[in-house]
Structure 1
């Protein structure tokens, strides 16, 4: 049996060798089915080498193309930047839910719904007090206008008694009447203003919706985006302190902490200033509403550039319409001093500590952001500056540039050793005798002649 089996196997082997079609899967009448062999791997092709001169020529073209693209897509890029900042702020909460066994998509949905619910709740909580204050202010406007008209009449009488030919009553009454109509809603051009406001509101709403949609997608693909970011920079040591996306996220949270601290400092300072002025008899309403005015001033500090003006506007208007309008002048002076302290002392130091950026660079970032993208650019200038700072620190830690020193034309170094003319043993150039045979080596010329005459 064994011999017969060996003969059968040998016969099948010969048939397979004689019929090459069986190797590609075709079966003979008596041969068993054969397995198709795996295809051979493709030959490795060497990559195309781009010469250095081509790289140098393409570099300015690429820079110019990138500049033109960013200039043309400025508004779109701005939306993506804002969405990215929001996604970076919310990503830690998504990661926290993922640790609690939530799928990433469900975690993103929970976080976004929670943020929207929180903002809606804050809006409802503030709606009634703000509405009551606005209604009360509108009811008091006619009284403020009457008081201001009385003061103007007194001022006009004083000017007339002094013989000063200056008419302030009629112009002042017209201006006050216009302000009162605008505030109470009786102006004739309110419809036109409302139409423009509605258009701006619609455009802003569309932008906000697009930003939220982009933020959701960035959160869903956050892990992939983080992997891409890690692949673009040199690898870290694996710890959170040396992980590039984690450092960027921490820098953004530092900006948020700095902004909250800044608003608290400025709001408290404005409230204390108004309370002090009210206690001194300047703008008595400031003592009564110091907390409300301070809270409003702190909230307005979230708005770059115009925040101080928006925060100080309500008390200045109330003082201007009161029975002592000179208080408005004192308030303008006081808020101007406060704004100078804010811009040159508080903001650079608070954000400089929170973002670990030099105060001069903080001022530069705010000015540059406003110049490039206006109000929105100034609003996102500091978080972008914090991200750039962390990027530079990370790259400096993990990259090293090759020096650009050019080779110098130095002569080759002379040999530091020679051979003994008698025995051929290597000896130092400054040796006086051979360490092997003791031949005197003081006369180098004679030694060289002896070496030439010596047998090989």
Structure 2
């Protein structure tokens, strides 16, 4: 067993490039785990700068100076964000508050309906079991309400941090984009010279992440818009809120679509009951999900991310448990990074074995 491990270690890490790649990965994950909260504004600025680099580079190639191109792109990006916050966020927030105020009534009607089940199915369900189950759920609901109040009080501190983000992050994005060449040269100067595998992984990651992000933005816009229009045309309450939730659910493959089905179904059931309108809406929602999974995703991501669904779900669970929301948000790019690293190591091992046989 020990010899087998030693042989594997020599194949994978005898090359200095492999050791460099391993050290950089370990250091990067250590920084994220131990200082991720402290460096969150910097990480957000780096991600935004990475996304805005493409239009800045295009404008720069057209003859605009780097500083001018950066200023124009950043002003446009901030303007779009402000317009979205002014036009979309208040409506979604208002619908969310209204939905929360109606949740007690929804739950009360649900309890009344559940209480009738023992009379409808006397041989299968018993009133004592139903009452005990409802009592346990009510206790959990009370605890959840207390947690929401606590979170609301703590959000005042988060609001202050958010204001800091609004000031610091745009400034950092501007300087990262404007001085990109100088910053990359400084980073390159402190890194090891033998970084062949690191460049290979970076090249593979760069192409896949750009395609993935571009595809996800298009998918969110299409799915969210179609869902909102469908819900509004069918006169479903909270159509914009639910449409936004459906659009954002595509960020979490498979799991997101399953989770967002519950609020859509609950609102429709509370509004119409088990009537034809309810089933029409659920059929329309199912068609949207089917078209997204079987038509839109293959078109947008045919060359972006080739990961098996099992690996995607494992990545969502692992990175989500490690870093919460941001871990879920970047689960697929992180899984792509892991795949790129394994591809680089495997390719190097095959080349070494071929050279040895020759």
TM interval, short-chain normalised: 0.5 to 0.7
Match of residue 327, structure 2, among 377, 402, 409 = 377
What corresponds to 2:27 in structure 1? 69
Which one scores higher on RCO, CA 8 angstroms, separation ≥ 6?
2
Residue 219 (1) aligns with residue 196 (2) = no
Tell me the distance in 2 between the aligned counterparts of 1:259 and 1:112. 21
Residue 255 (1) aligns with residue 202 (2) = no
| Contact 1:263/1:299 (<8 A) preserved | yes
What corresponds to 2:50 in structure 1? 88
Deviation, 1:387, is 7.4
Tell me the distance in 1 between the aligned counterparts of 2:19 and 2:218. 45
What corresponds to 1:117 in structure 2? 79
Tell me the distance in 2 between the aligned counterparts of 1:371 and 1:153. 37
Show the 5 A alignment for 1:8-23. Answer: none
Deviation, 1:69, is 3.2
Which ranges of structure 2 fall in alignment gaps of 5 or more residues? 1-12
1:166 aligns to what SS in structure 2?
Answer: helix
Deviation, 1:319, is 4.9
Tell me the distance in 1 between the aligned counterparts of 2:112 and 2:29. 56
2:84 aligns to what SS in structure 1?
Answer: helix
CA 1:362/1:344 → structure 2, altered by over 3 Å: closer, same or farther?
farther
| Contact 2:53/2:177 (<8 A) preserved | yes
Match of residue 260, structure 2, among 308, 311, 330 = 311
Tell me the distance in 1 between the aligned counterparts of 2:247 and 2:211. 19
| Contact 2:316/2:332 (<8 A) preserved | yes
Q: Which has the higher helix share?
A: 2
Show the 5 A alignment for 1:119-158. Answer: 119-134=81-96, 136-137=98-99, 140-141=102-103, 143-145=105-107, 147-148=109-110, 150-152=112-114, 154-155=116-117
Show the 5 A alignment for 1:350-369. Answer: 352-355=301-304, 357=306, 359=308, 363=312, 369=319
TM-score normalised by the chain length of structure 1? 0.49
2:356 aligns to what SS in structure 1?
Answer: coil
Tell me the distance in 2 between the aligned counterparts of 1:65 and 1:81. 20
1:159-210 deviations in Å (ceiling 9; x for gaps): 789994536468648957985x899xxx666542323444556567667866
1:405 aligns to what SS in structure 2?
Answer: helix
Which ranges of structure 1 fall in alignment gaps of 5 or more residues? 1-54, 235-243, 276-284, 408-456
Match of residue 299, structure 1, among 234, 239, 248 = 248
| Contact 1:308/1:339 (<8 A) preserved | no
Tell me the distance in 2 between the aligned counterparts of 1:157 and 1:117. 59
State which structure, 1 or 2, has the greater radius of gyration over its C-alpha atoms.
1
What corresponds to 2:356 in structure 1? 405
Over the residues paired in the alignment, what is the CA RMSD in angstroms? 5.9
2:128 aligns to what SS in structure 1?
Answer: coil
Aligned length: 325
Deviation, 1:225, is 5.2
1:90-119 deviations in Å (ceiling 9; x for gaps): 113223444566543343233223212211
| Contact 1:251/1:355 (<8 A) preserved | yes
